Structure 1
Amino acid sequence: MRRRFERLLRRLLRASALERVAISTAALVTSMLIGAVLVFVAGGFASCRVGLDIAGWTFCYNPMQVYYELFLGALGHPLEAGWHPLNFWMAKTLQQTTLLIFTGLSFAVAYRAGLFNIGTQGQLVVGSLTTAVTVLYAAAVVPGGLVGMLILIPLGVLAGAVAGGFFGAIPGALKAYGGANEVITTIMLNFIAVGITSTLLSWKFQDPDSSNPKTAPVPEYAEIPNIPYVGFDDSVSFSLLALVFAVALMIGLTWLLTRTSFGYELRTSGTQPEAAAYGGVDEKRMTVASMTLSGAIGGIGGAFWVLMVHGNWLKNVPALGFDGIAVSILASNNPLGIGVSALLFGTLESGSQNISTATDVPQELVGILSGLIILFVAMPEFFRMIGGRYVDVGNPDPARADGGETAGADGGEADA
């Protein structure tokens, strides 16, 4: 059984890009079929006036309608008359996509260096509060209007990056100089980030005009503006400039990782640490640097969450950092692929909210559908990621490494 599993992992690791797309597509179809059965069966236990009657049993939920709202509803129902691309649901989808690009890139950078940064959520939380506070205090001395916008927005993003980078450097230093496991330290720092920011909010930065736990709103001119004549629905806080910046960051990181000496050292230290050390790469310095860069990107995501979505810092920060882990894994930790992966997650998030308003399907069931899709689509890449660490791809048949046995010893089967 172990040999069969290892052979399966090898075939998965050697799969071409087209084969991996086919596997992901098959996984998506399978998850949708299972989800459709769950929706249909759950509808049999719900109460409704109109439904499908089968053998005296009324089924209230239509799986086809659910998936229609989940995927096409997230785009504003493009098949219906009067559809416009700058609609509410499209803006909602792209808003989530933009934020998830940042958190996905944060995890991907650390992983390419051989590190698991589970602390993107904490880095985002710290970066977002730092952004809000920095912009609020700077606005008192910076003039308003266009000048204020050109100063405060870059300043806020920079503040978020610095704070997130510092919070990411802590587990990097603990890993490099103390041998601490970065998975454990980043998970613990997530809780520390929540505690620190909540304490600072109640102690110093609480909005005096609100009973809700949040900071005062930043000036309107400090929020990321819409591109003229390309404005989305005003009821959704989304700016195409933010998405353009996120895509530019994807391209920039791809160039950094593949075309610079820093990127080469980062990737080599993650995939071939012995070769990197032989080539003179300072492993400790690279560990701290990669975690700092990863945390800085997470902090930038927090900055955009404040300056684009809310206009202030709220105590209940959504789990964008944890979602970014799944986004990155689905994209094989490839910066360019993260854009497509983030779009899928953004579609599921927006479509899930659309189902709740357009159908009677409970939110808990919608969450199960989204979770099934994410699980099935991401699982092949997860196995590739784990298998790449423990399976020798260069050995085509694990049985031959055990003293010359052949695959036929497993029951006459030969490797295809």
Structure 2
Amino acid sequence: MSNEQQAPAETKPTTEPKPSKRRFGWLNEAIVPLLAILTAVLIGAVIVFVSIPSNKLPAFDLSLYGSRSDWFFSTLPERLRVTLSAFTGLFSGAFGDWTNPSSIPVAMSNTLVESTPYILAGLAVAVTFKAGLFNVGAEGQLLMGALGSVAVAAFMPQWFGVASLPTIIHLPAALLAGVIAGGLWGIIPGYLRAKTGAHEVITTIMLNYIALQVMDYLINGVMKDKSATLQRTPFIHENAALPRIISKATDPSLTGGQAYPRLFTTTSSTWDLRIHMGIVLAFLMVGFIWWLMNRTPKGFEIKTVGENPEAARYAGMSITGTVVGAMGLSGALAGLAGTSQVIGLEYNLKAVFSSGLGFDSLAIALLAKSNPIAIVPAALFWGALRTGAGAMQVNTGISINLIQIIQALVIMFIAADQIVRWIYRIKQAEGGKITFNRSWGK
């Protein structure tokens, strides 16, 4: 026998993810959206630079400038100043002029107020993205939520023949009415998708038009305030309003005799803020959706159906129930967004309402990659753009349409992230993708 010992088999070392990659995984997910925003802002700056209003620049005079190009290059310093002023105005409009601290609370409050419906509607769209669905109907669901909540908040005491109802009854009823109305409007396309195969993109678009016409019909009909010159409902009862966090006392003569609540009363204009408890509801919903998606069997079902419906069916999951449930939950969140606007901010419902909040939520969900936590900064960014646009226009005369250009560019770079990856030489990372149902176009 040979005395030679058999050499042990060569074993390959196991490879585990580096701790740094696990720890900073969120940064890897965020890098492309952040660069998409940066690129969109830089392109916006270039647009401002070359299209500054003529009244902001010295007039072209052939006797002073040999050619148009000479005139253009001579105005470069002024163009740079106006461009910087435009984005300084955008920042100060959204977050306040930091050289004037008294402007900061109002500006920050306005940004949070604008962001509140974006957070809720963004969550609504993100839920359906997780389920492999494309809910274009957040706008209609938001409108129906607003309509349901104002019906209860403005007319419920009349139904019971009383002057008013206690806050503990009236406020929850108004919130619940908005959530149910939006949820039911979301269940309709969900049921049609699950039972008949009707694609949710088509049905939700059609339901958006129906919701708009239903709202217009009711506001100009049975729900119209006969004493108002505007096309709007009566003011909601004060006991059905979400309290503002801090503000001056409201003048009942301007709000149909209602004195709307606030947690803290001030006499200072610096702290007379529009921010209301809707922002608290929005943050609570962020935590709830994160918990639902990451810590519950139902959230696992939603994500599994979205990623692989056949595997979900083989595992015994109800595809119909999951699709209908996801669309219903999405509609409920969008309905809550509309509700917060009506009973927390406007105190009535006008025929001109929403201004595309539901459609913007698609962009917010895409920007956040359907991550409930990332919805918050994405919504704050959108709210800041919307709040700061006015100050930018006042400072420089630049049209607020520039903001829409920046928003459109962000959406384009997020939807076609290979453009950003090519510009900045970023490799494709695994995960973080949004999966839509494979049935599109069939």
TM-score range, shorter chain: 0.7 to 0.9
Query: How many Å separate the matches in 2 of 1:153 and 1:165?
Result: 18
Q: What SS class does the counterpart of residue 210 from structure 1 fall into?
A: coil
- Cα pair distance change 1:24/1:167, threshold 3 Å: closer
CA contact (8 A) 1:332 1:381 kept: no
Q: Look up the match of 2:425.
A: none
Q: Look up the match of 1:168.
A: 186
In the TM superposition, what is the alpha-carbon distance from 1:32 to its structure 2 partner? 2.3
CA contact (8 A) 1:139 1:148 kept: no
CA contact (8 A) 1:237 1:310 kept: no
1:221-236 to structure 2, matched below 5 A, reads 221-227=239-245, 228-229=263-264
Query: How many Å separate the matches in 2 of 1:374 and 1:91?
Result: 26
- Cα pair distance change 1:304/1:233, threshold 3 Å: farther
Q: 2:217 aligns with which of 195, 199, 209?
A: 199
Q: Look up the match of 1:9.
A: none
Q: 2:173 aligns with which of 148, 155, 169?
A: 155
After superposition, what is the alpha-carbon deviation per residue over 1:68-125, rounded to whole angstroms, capped at 9, x for unaligned?
Answer: 12124301123x14346422x2111001111101100111111111111100100111
1:10-409 to structure 2, matched below 5 A, reads 16-43=25-52, 46-48=54-56, 55-57=70-72, 58=75, 62-78=82-98, 80-83=99-102, 85-87=104-106, 89-140=107-158, 141=160, 144=164, 148-227=166-245, 228-229=263-264, 237-239=274-276, 241-317=277-353, 318-376=355-413, 379-380=416-417
Q: What SS class does the counterpart of residue 268 from structure 1 fall into?
A: helix
Q: TM-score, normalised by structure 1?
A: 0.81
Q: Identity, % of aligned pairs?
A: 32
- Cα pair distance change 1:51/1:373, threshold 3 Å: farther
Q: What SS class does the counterpart of residue 255 from structure 1 fall into?
A: helix
Aligned pair count?
Answer: 371
Q: What SS class does the counterpart of residue 203 from structure 1 fall into?
A: coil
Query: How many Å separate the matches in 2 of 1:219 and 1:381?
Result: 51
CA contact (8 A) 1:113 1:271 kept: yes
Q: Kindly indicate which of the two structures has a greater share of residues assigned to helix.
A: 1
CA contact (8 A) 2:153 2:343 kept: no
Letter in 1 for 2:352: N
Letter in 2 for 1:119: G
Q: Greater shift after overlay, 47-56 or 286-295?
A: 47-56
Query: How many Å separate the matches in 1 of 2:33 and 2:27?
Result: 10
- Structure 2: tracts of 5 or more residues without a match: 1-23, 246-262, 421-430
In the TM superposition, what is the alpha-carbon distance from 1:28 to its structure 2 partner? 2.7
In the TM superposition, what is the alpha-carbon distance from 1:385 to its structure 2 partner? 7.3
Letter in 1 for 2:34: T
RMSD in angstroms over aligned alpha carbons? 2.9
After superposition, what is the alpha-carbon deviation per residue over 1:106-146, rounded to whole angstroms, capped at 9, x for unaligned?
Answer: 111111111111001001111101110111122345665xx
CA contact (8 A) 2:131 2:302 kept: yes
- Cα pair distance change 1:28/1:206, threshold 3 Å: same
Query: How many Å separate the matches in 2 of 1:156 and 1:355?
Result: 37
Query: How many Å separate the matches in 2 of 1:379 and 1:190?
Result: 27
In the TM superposition, what is the alpha-carbon distance from 1:226 to its structure 2 partner? 2.4
- Cα pair distance change 1:388/1:176, threshold 3 Å: closer
Query: How many Å separate the matches in 1 of 2:197 and 2:437?
Result: 21
Q: Greater shift after overlay, 378-387 or 190-199?
A: 378-387
Letter in 2 for 1:39: V
Q: What SS class does the counterpart of residue 51 from structure 2 fall into?
A: helix
- Cα pair distance change 1:234/1:378, threshold 3 Å: farther
After superposition, what is the alpha-carbon deviation per residue over 1:248-281, rounded to whole angstroms, capped at 9, x for unaligned?
Answer: 1110111111222221211111112112111111
Q: Greater shift after overlay, 169-178 or 352-361?
A: 352-361
In the TM superposition, what is the alpha-carbon distance from 1:230 to its structure 2 partner? 8.6
After superposition, what is the alpha-carbon deviation per residue over 1:335-374, rounded to whole angstroms, capped at 9, x for unaligned?
Answer: 1111111111111111112212333222233432443345
- Considering only CA atoms, is the larger Rg found in Structure 1 or Structure 2? 2
